[in-house]
Amino acid sequence: MAGSKHSTSPCRDALDNPQVLDTEMEQKLEKTIEFSDDEESLIIRMYNLVGERWHLIAGRIPGRTAQEIQKYWNSRYSTSE
């Protein structure tokens, strides 16, 4: 096939590079994470008790991961000092 050039699509690039998929999924996750008032209250209370031990906090909230809790906390309550 003379003159045939292999072009890649963004989807193909993402399949070849899992890091691209991870980044895209993280961005979607950040946009879609919402916590109920009860979850927020529990996160605050648990943080005051155990600090940044996200896996312990997540263990008290069914269906939540430590990563979700940490991202939520950092986006909501982190200080830039």
Span of 26-35, 36-45, 56-65 with lowest mean pLDDT: 26-35
pTM: 0.58
pLDDT at 50: 97
22-38 pLDDT per residue, tens: 666 555 555 567 899 99
Cα dist. 3→9, 10, 12, 24, 54 in Å? 19, 22, 21, 34, 55
Which two structure tokens, joined as six digits, stand for 35?
Answer: 């916590």
* Domains with residue ranges and CATH for the chain: 10-77 (1.10.10.60)
| 8 Å CB contact between 58 and 65 | yes
